[in-house]
Amino acid sequence: MIRTTLAEIERYYPLSDGIKTAADFIRNNDLASFPAGRYAVDGDRIFALVQELETKPADEALIENHMRSIDMQMTLRGNESVAYRPVAKLTKKGEYDAAADVQNYSGETELIMRNDPGASVSIFFPEDGHQPYIAEKSPEPIKKVVIRIML
C-alpha cells in the first residue's frame, strides 16, 4: 500500500507505468465535473471509475482487494476515510468475483487514513486489503475516482 499526494506521486512511477498514466489522467481532467461512470484511460488496461455515493460507518464498509489490478483511489469531494490491513491477516468472505476482480474479507483493519479531497492518493496492490467509503463522523455524500491498473 502506498499513501502519497498527487504532488509527490512521481517517486512511484518506477513501480508501474500505469501509475504515471493514471496520475496524468487525474491531473489533465476535471474529474469532479465528470458524471459517475467508467472511463477508458488506456483501453481495458487502465480505466477510471468515477463514483458518487454515501460514506458509511466502518462496521458496514466492505474490506476488499483485487487480484489482477492495482487500485488507485482519490476522493474528489466530501470527507472519506480508507482503512488498510494486509490480506494475509484477514479472512476471505465469500467467493472471489473474477468478473469484477474483487475478493471481500472480514477482520479488523489496522490503519485508517483520512483522504484530503483532491490531494491524497492511495494505491493498493493485490496483497493490500482496503476498506473504502468510511464515514469520518456520519454518512455523507462523496465523489471519488478509483483507477484500476491491470497487472
pLDDT value for 36: 98
pLDDT value for 50: 98
Q: Where are the alpha helices (DSSP H) in 17-101?
A: 17-27
Q: Is the separation of the CB atoms in 144 and 74 below 8 Å?
A: yes
Q: Count the Cβ atoms, other than its own, within 10 Å of residue 95.
A: 8
pTM: 0.96
* pLDDT tens, residue order, the chain (151 aa): 999 999 999 999 999 999 999 999 999 999 999 999 999 999 999 999 999 999 999 999 999 999 999 999 999 999 999 999 999 999 999 999 999 999 999 999 999 999 999 999 999 999 999 999 999 999 999 999 999 999 9
Find where cell 512521481 sits. Answer: 10
